[in-house]
Amino acid sequence: MDESWVFSLGDSLVNTKKNILFLCCIYIYFVKHVYHIVTFISVFHFIVYSLTSIYSTDSLYTDN
């Protein structure tokens, strides 16, 4: 049995413990930006939906 994978797994775990704060910072940064992007997209969709509904009612009024 080749047990080098056990040592590499241990090394990666130690490195993860060293970088846990860095990973948390990246995660928080990413989540904040994803939150802003989702908020922007939802607001943008709401604006587009409102404009299209106004357009459709306007076109209905002009057609009639």
Helices (H) and strands (E) in the chain, counts: 2, 0
**What was the pLDDT predicted at 43?**
93
For CA atoms 23, 25, 26, 32, give the dihedral sign.
Answer: positive
Residues of the chain with pLDDT under 70: 1-3, 5, 16, 57-64
- Say which amino acid occupies 19: N
Question: Do residues 49 and 56 lie in contact, with contact meaning Cβ atoms separated by under 8 Å?
Answer: no
